[in-house]
Amino acid sequence: MNKETLPLAQSRNNPYKQTRLKTFLVAFIGGALLYHCFTRPSVLLGSYSSDSFIGKSDDLCAQSTPLFPTVHGTLWEKLQAGFKEQEFQNKTVEWLAGAVKVPTEMFDDMGPVGEDPRWENREAFHDYLVEAFPLIHSSELITLQKVNTYGLLYTWKGSNETLEPIIMAAHQDVVPVNPTTISSWTHPPYSGYFDGERIWGRGTNDDKSGLIGIFTAVETLLSNSFTPARTIVFSFGFDEEGGGIQGAGELGKTLLDVYGEDSFAFIIDEGGGFTEQFGSQFATPGIAEKGSLTVQLDIATPGGHSSVPPDHTSIGILSRLLVEFENNPFDSALSRTSPLYAQLVCFSTHASTLPPSISKLIHRSLSSEKALADLEKALFDKGSFGDSIGMSRLWKSMSGTTQAIDVINGGVKSNALPEQAFAVINHRIGIDSSSSAVESRDTSLLLPLAQEFNLTFTAFGELISDPSSNSSAGKLSLDYLPTRRPLEPAPVTPLDSNAFGLLAGTIRSTFDTHRRLDRSSTEKNEVFVAPGMPTGNTDTRFYWKLSKNIFRYKHHHSKSSAHTVDEFIELDSYLEMIRFYMTLILNSDEARDI
């Protein structure tokens, strides 16, 4: 490979970090803290007053320099050449297809490991890994510990113990294929069929491409005699699609026992990829996750014959309470401190076809409350920039706490008064709120109605109100759904760390290399990195204590399908993902500032 064709940057620079210094200077001379909107938002925002920086927007959403390995530069170049080899490409297809053929389905109602036989296919998956990746399983530097039978914890021991290890995570399980949809698949869901362009089947996208992509990178590095300086831990849960409690839940505890709090330089798990937005490519690593709280409302009233009914049956009362919920949605607000706002600022700075009026509105919103309100209205009411209705709902939902009444049940017979009725409400908690805030809000929302209907009201185990007379017409209880523990919003990953700079630099070098070297493409070889926030949760919910730097990112076109019929991944996109994992391993290995 010709060195001249490669921009081998010698140093990493994380502009998010650099601007921190500038900020103080800027603040000092009375300027605005604008371009800093997503570094340390809570500290930095709120004090700016002028809009003097809006014109000089170069620093808004500044980008890391593409980062290429240098210590491992020769090895890295050799590996890039390998991507063009037919044999290597065939091997990557084979590795992924073999993994897809083991249907590690995850069902919602699975019992404990050891009791429910539906877990046992994970064993076959483990056997497959051993057979497919002989170097990983025979290396003296790599150990495998099985946690809670099926959780896979591989440790690739680095030579330098003073370097903080990293975690590369993925999950073994897949969402089930609904048997009635099998005939709608272009190629059978567990075939791993390769049509010359795409690899088909459940898990090709979510998340066997992640797990096998990581192992393809590792096996290839081993075949090139690479030995790491920095320890790498591979943590592969087996029930992510069902909440991850038995898999990542146990893996997280083991890791905490062995390594302690804040002991990893960073953690990378599945999450946002890259996609075209307004004419430019944006990669959006998830740096935050909403929480969740699922509550059950129970009404109990005296039963009896329906020929002599009270004014309100338990079903009638429950209905009234539910109407109260829907009449009082949570406030959603576009906040300057949210990752989504930072993403908008990145669009306004780097998206080539974003309408100028919107771009200006975003810039003005940095300092003007009125513009911020107008921007919020544009996003929440019209679905961003004239987009579909789905987009407006997405923006609104991601900008606050939500509620959805998902289950209702009551009554057993057409001529008997219902003694019981219940409903289940699912909340997703906004990143600046908490489960206790949502609990108090639900409780205070129901209190006046509990009093009006003379109900004895208990919320989360505490007696809230009891009618003083003997006229209690029944009981109202508000409580957690027993099977769903509340989940707080995740700690927000900082953007001004060297680890984030390393991630962003690696994303940019991978994107560029993939297009320049192998496709001789004339398209613009640039991707912009903007913070993102996935709509759901990942296994990282069990890893919060292990590192402040948690990245939910998978280097792929996020448009490829998942969880539905006809899941597939393009070979080209998959190769780029593997290239990313290799480069990330090498960049992290030689970094001395993370």
Stretch (H or E) spanning 431: none
Peptide bond just before 116 cis, omega within 30 deg: no
CB of 584 to ligand NAG, least distance (A): 18
Cβ neighbours of residue 577 closer than 8 Å, sequence gap 6 or more: 209, 210, 213, 554, 555, 556
Quick check: 327 binds ligand NAG (CB under 6 A)?
A: no
User: Considering CB distances under 5 to 8 angstroms, the limit depending on partner class, which of Zn ion, ligand NAG, none binds residue 454?
Assistant: ligand NAG
Q: Is 269 annotated as a binding residue?
A: yes
Spatial distance between the Cα atoms of 428 and 435, rounded to a whole number of angstroms: 9
In contact, 547 and 570? CB cutoff 8 Å: no
Quick check: 485 binds ligand NAG (CB under 6 A)?
A: no
Stretch that binds Zn ion, among 129-137, 201-209, 453-461, 574-582 (CB under 5 A): 201-209
CB of 275 to Zn ion, least distance (A): 17
Q: Is 77 annotated as a binding residue?
A: no
Q: Is 241 annotated as a binding residue?
A: yes
From 465, 474, 126, select the one nearest 314 (Cα to Cα).
Answer: 474
Burial group, residue 254, by CB count within 10 angstroms (0-12, 13-18, 19+): middle
CB of 26 to Zn ion, least distance (A): 41
Q: Which is nearer to ligand NAG, 87 or 523 (CB)?
A: 87
| Burial track 67-101 (b if 16+ CB lie within 10 A, e otherwise) | bbbeebbebbbebbebbeeeebbeebbebbbbbbe
Q: Which is nearer to Zn ion, 165 or 192 (CB)?
A: 192
Catalytic option among 240, 376, 442, 512: 240
Using the 8-state DSSP alphabet, how is residue 400 labeled?
B
Quick check: 87 binds ligand NAG (CB under 6 A)?
A: yes
Stretch that binds ligand NAG, among 103-111, 370-378, 439-447, 470-478 (CB under 6 A): 470-478
Spatial distance between the Cα atoms of 544 and 542, rounded to a whole number of angstroms: 6
Quick check: 239 binds Zn ion (CB under 5 A)?
A: no
Quick check: 162 binds ligand NAG (CB under 6 A)?
A: yes
Q: Which is nearer to ligand NAG, 162 or 180 (CB)?
A: 162
Quick check: 197 binds ligand NAG (CB under 6 A)?
A: no
CB of 200 to Zn ion, least distance (A): 18
Spatial distance between the Cα atoms of 582 and 588, rounded to a whole number of angstroms: 10
In contact, 421 and 315? CB cutoff 8 Å: yes
Q: Which is nearer to Zn ion, 210 or 228 (CB)?
A: 210
Q: Which listed residue (164, 173, 206, 442) binds Zn ion by CB under 5 A?
A: 206
SS (H, E, C) 101-123: CCCCECCCCCCCCCCCHHHCHHH
Annotation says 576 is catalytic: no
User: Considering CB distances under 5 to 8 angstroms, the limit depending on partner class, which of ligand NAG, Zn ion, none binds residue 123?
Assistant: none
Quick check: 47 binds ligand NAG (CB under 6 A)?
A: no
Q: Which is nearer to ligand NAG, 162 or 307 (CB)?
A: 162
Using the 8-state DSSP alphabet, how is residue 176 labeled?
P
CB of 100 to Zn ion, least distance (A): 14
CB of 270 to Zn ion, least distance (A): 5
Stretch that binds Zn ion, among 198-206, 304-312, 508-516, 576-584 (CB under 5 A): 198-206
Give the pair of three-digit tokens for residue 362.
């975003």
CB atoms within 10 A of CB 124: 12
Using the 8-state DSSP alphabet, how is residue 174 labeled?
B
Annotation says 173 is catalytic: yes
In contact, 551 and 269? CB cutoff 8 Å: yes
Q: Is 442 annotated as a binding residue?
A: no
Stretch that binds ligand NAG, among 18-26, 125-133, 318-326, 464-472 (CB under 6 A): 464-472
Q: Per 3-state DSSP, what percentage of the chain is helix, strand, and coil (rounded to 5)?
A: 40, 20, 40
Q: Which listed residue (47, 353, 469, 522) binds ligand NAG by CB under 6 A?
A: 469
Determine the 3-state secondary structure of 40 from DSSP: coil
Instruction: Enumerate residues 435-454 that contact ligand NAG by CB under 6 A.
Output: 452-454
Cβ neighbours of residue 335 closer than 8 Å, sequence gap 6 or more: 341, 399, 432
Interacting residue ranges for ligand NAG, rule: CB under 6 A: 86-87, 90, 160, 162-163, 452-454, 469-471, 473, 592
Interacting residue ranges for Zn ion, rule: CB under 5 A: 206-207, 270
Binding-site residue set for Zn(2+): 171, 206, 241, 269, 563
What are the catalytic residues? 173, 240
